[in-house]
Amino acid sequence: MAYVITSTCIDVLDKSCMDVCPVDCIYEGARKLYIQPDECIDCGACEGACPMSAIAYEESVAPDELIHVEDNRAFFFDVLPGREEPLGEPGGSPDVGRVGVDTPLVSSAPQGQNIPTAP
């Protein structure tokens, strides 16, 4: 299990969570941040630092935000648009820098608006 960043992060990218993460497992897409589930140590520091309350433990994600649990995994394990291979487990966001692309779910969200969270 791991923490998940939900829809209220889209187009906000505050990054306070990145500043407090002791293992640098939070990565920056173009419009949203994502937590690498295998690198996350479940410390919860990110959850308290997020001014948008966009972060929740995977098992505690609100029902209307559950789509973001799988979408968060997809950011790391699916091939993202414009990339040749999945990110996988990069080993720390400072070494990767801004990824600059998002999952299709986040990319399809209207600019400046949260996306519908339930199918």
What residue ranges in the chain does DSSP mark as E strands? 3-5, 26-28, 33-35, 55-57
Per DSSP, what are the bridge partners of residue 28? 33
Domains of the chain, residue spans = 3-106
pTM value is: 0.91
Instruction: Indicate the CATH number of 3-106 among 3.40.50.720, 3.40.640.10, 3.30.420.40, 3.30.70.20.
Output: 3.30.70.20
**pLDDT for 51-103, tens place per residue?**
999 999 999 999 999 999 999 999 999 999 999 999 999 999 999 999 999 99
Between CA 87 and CA 52 the distance in angstroms is: 26
* Confidence category of residue 113, pLDDT binned at 50, 70, 90: low
Residue 116 has pLDDT above 60, yes or no: no
How much is the average pLDDT of 31-57?
A: 96
Between CA 16 and CA 12 the distance in angstroms is: 11
pLDDT at 110: 87
